[in-house]
Amino acid sequence: MSLIVVGSVAYDGVETPHGKVDRMLGGAATYIALAASYFTPVKVVAVVGDDFDQVDIDLLASRHIDLTGLERVPGGKTFFWAGVYSADMNDRTTLRTDLNVFADFNPKLPESYRSEPYLFLGNIQPALQRSVRAQMNGVKLTGGDTMNYWISDFRGELLETIKQWDFLLINDGEARQLSGEYNLRSAAAKVQAMGPGTLVIKRGEYGAILFHGGRHFMAPGYLLETVFDPTGAGDCFAGGFIGYLAGRGLDLSESKLDFAELRRAVIYGSVMGSFCCEKFGVDRFRTLTRQEIDARYTEFQDCTGF
Amino acid sequence: MSLIVVGSVAYDGVETPHGKVDRMLGGAATYIALAASYFTPVKVVAVVGDDFDQVDIDLLASRHIDLTGLERVPGGKTFFWAGVYSADMNDRTTLRTDLNVFADFNPKLPESYRSEPYLFLGNIQPALQRSVRAQMNGVKLTGGDTMNYWISDFRGELLETIKQWDFLLINDGEARQLSGEYNLRSAAAKVQAMGPGTLVIKRGEYGAILFHGGRHFMAPGYLLETVFDPTGAGDCFAGGFIGYLAGRGLDLSESKLDFAELRRAVIYGSVMGSFCCEKFGVDRFRTLTRQEIDARYTEFQDCTGF
């Protein structure tokens, strides 16, 4: 039972107080897929140019990520983003966004993807997210991400899209923007009423809050010794969360859900986000093992239980 | 076994998005004492003017707080502070600070206070905090609070003071300023090396982190439906924390400490801080019961356990 991940596969240029890399593998779908791959088989739908390097294919393949749905546009260039982080790494400034082949991304699911039960829709135009879901038959669990631009300028289209979703993962600013409520409890109630009965509000270094039914669960952010590069941490959170649910074969319908499993999914999200920050870009995933993941999960228990 | 609380007893003028009160009971020692009084007997050392109202004395007395050490200066006026909160209540602007009798505060412990085992030193000049501790005989647990002004302009005096302390409670900005480290794990290690083996870093709505020995524990902030007035929340956190330790007769020496008890103290701190925000000023304490406190403690378990 595989997870379908749709979104950007890109090259990033990143500068943090710890260093600078001009061009490295990035993109939301890349991070989500890498993080989820520790829990469940993953199949990616994305688009790249013919400048996309074989070493990057190799990295994804080494995590057994199915790339049948990775479209390669002849003569095209891969989406490129560059940004620089503030000294405390809580803010970043975008230096460059070249959409390139991503501008015309119109995801088509390979036949071998269509009957899979789990679908994670990364941050792309809501109408495209909807079209992907429509290509699936018998999807059991759908959820995804969005951003301020779609919330403000494509609100109707976004609402049409997320009303079909089982879960939504957004950050606190987006939750406030989408709901019009500052208080996160009130914001969550309004967003849940839009469709996704399960909502995860990400709060960066402060962790995340899960809302499901009338209950909520708060996971702290892992207290890292050094944050090297926060790029992709939110996407890795998403990958850990949906990866865990998929790997356990869970769905989120009220009648069947074990809330304890949903809590564990959030903690695995926090765990994967924390590892992501330990090296530049996706570098941490070159060596990360499931044993390290489970050891950090245990650390979370030790740091939060009372 | 009582807790001695030293600090300001004041009148506050506060404006939040939910309303405005021109003059109400406030001050760090007031909030700390009220919160701690649910867990242990409390004795206050503070100074007020002869404008201090009997109704405020009555409120403190109703919580069985010993006011033998509340000095009343004839002809003097009580410390007055006024401030206004931003729309999201994460920032506040001070409109007025009239130190009045607090400017010459030189705390003298009544004889009946001196042999008590627990001492919490609210945010006053470090030399005065030190003089209070010197007046105690056989104190078992000393800790307290400080602020940016003492850290920057009275650094030597502050370091002399906190090196005698068992614990320090400060916010994240103060921890960074005191240690010169941005990362909270690194900051904590440096602060612990200054003396207080137990450090609690408060993060406002995001909760608090406890550092003790080589371990740490993260408590989330309670997710309130409405934050009415955050004034005093940090002091109530302190009161819940030290109140719980004192009520259980605990000390923090490595050989004796039960880390689980210290975690519980932090959660009770978060619980008391959360109640404080539910009404203006100290109003929540007019009706709050120990049963409500324990119910919220259980809610914290439900919201964080996995």
pLDDT in tens, A28-61: 999 999 999 999 999 999 999 999 999 999 999 9
Contacts with A258 from chain B: Cβ below 8 Å: none
Q: What is the ipTM, given to two decimal places?
A: 0.92
Q: Give the pLDDT score at A240.
A: 98
Nearest CA to A141 out of A95, A198, A187, A92 is that of A198
Instruction: Please tell me if residue A267 touches chain B, with a CB cutoff of 8 Å.
Output: yes
Q: Do B218 and A216 touch (CB under 8 A)?
A: no
**How many other C-beta atoms can be found within 10 angstroms of the C-beta atom of residue B78?**
27
Q: Give the pLDDT score at A254.
A: 65
- The one-character DSSP state at B1 is -
CA–CA dist A28, A32 (Å, integer) = 6
Instruction: Please tell me if residue A154 touches chain B, with a CB cutoff of 8 Å.
Output: no
Nearest CA to B236 out of B216, B251, B222 is that of B222
Q: Do A301 and B301 touch (CB under 8 A)?
A: no
Q: Which of B223, B267, B306 sits opposite A306 (nearest CB)?
A: B267
Q: Does the structure show a pLDDT above 70 at A107? A: yes
Chain B nearest CA to A296, separation (Å): 14
Instruction: Please tell me if residue B182 touches chain A, with a CB cutoff of 8 Å.
Output: yes
Q: What is the mean pLDDT of each run of 10 residues along chain B (306 residues)?
A: 96 96 98 98 98 98 98 98 92 96 97 98 97 96 97 98 97 97 96 97 96 95 94 98 96 78 97 98 98 98 95
Cα→Cα distances B35→B63, B180, B237, B264, B293, Å: 10, 32, 8, 15, 10
Extract the runs of DSSP E, i.e. beta strands, from chain A: 3-6, 10-16, 19-26, 42-49, 66-73, 80-85, 92-98, 118-121, 141-144, 167-171, 198-202, 208-212, 215-219
CA–CA dist A20, B179 (Å, integer) = 27
Q: Which of B206, B305, B306 sits opposite A206 (nearest CB)?
A: B206
CA dihedral over B221, B222, B226, B231, signed as positive or negative: negative
- Give ∠ CA A225-A228-A232 in degrees, rounded to 5: 115
State phi, psi for B27 to the nearest 5 degrees. Answer: 100, 140
Q: Give the pLDDT score at B19.
A: 94
Chain A nearest CA to B237, separation (Å): 17
The string of pLDDT tens digits covering residues A208-267 is 999 998 999 999 999 999 899 999 999 999 999 999 999 999 988 766 778 999 999 999
Q: How many angstroms separate the first and last alpha carbons of chain A?
A: 36
Instruction: Please tell me if residue A224 touches chain B, with a CB cutoff of 8 Å.
Output: yes
User: How far does CA B172 lie from the centroid of its chain?
Assistant: 15
Instruction: Work out how many CB contacts closer than 8 A connect A with B.
Output: 74
Residue of B nearest to A211 (CA): B303
**How many other C-beta atoms can be found within 10 angstroms of the C-beta atom of residue B129?**
28
Percent of chain A with pLDDT over 90: 94
3-state secondary structure at position A302: helix
A87-113 average pLDDT score: 95
Q: Give the pLDDT score at A264.
A: 97
Q: State both tokens at B220.
A: 């989330």
CA dihedral over B258, B264, B269, B270, signed as positive or negative: positive
Q: Give the pLDDT score at B254.
A: 65
State phi, psi for A269 to the nearest 5 degrees. Answer: -60, -50
**Residue from A190, A202, A218 whose CB has the most chain B CBs within 10 Å, to mutate:** A218
Q: Give the pLDDT score at B255.
A: 64
Q: Give the pLDDT score at B107.
A: 97
* Those residues with Cβ within 8 angstroms of residue A21's Cβ, 6 or more apart along the chain or in another chain: A12, A13, A14, A15, A280, A281
Contact between B300 and B270 under an 8 Å Cβ cutoff? The reply is yes
- The one-character DSSP state at B2 is -
**How many other C-beta atoms can be found within 10 angstroms of the C-beta atom of residue A216?**
17
Q: Do A215 and B302 touch (CB under 8 A)?
A: yes
The string of pLDDT tens digits covering residues A145-188 is 999 999 999 999 999 999 999 999 999 999 999 999 999 999 99
Q: Which of B207, B225, B266 sits opposite A183 (nearest CB)?
A: B225
Q: Give the pLDDT score at A88.
A: 85
Q: Which residues pair with A213 in a beta bridge?
A: none
Contacts with A206 from chain B: Cβ below 8 Å: 203, 206
Instruction: Please tell me if residue B264 touches chain A, with a CB cutoff of 8 Å.
Output: yes
Region of B81 (left: φ > 0; alpha: ψ -120 to 50; beta: rest) is beta
Contacts with B183 from chain A: Cβ below 8 Å: 224-227
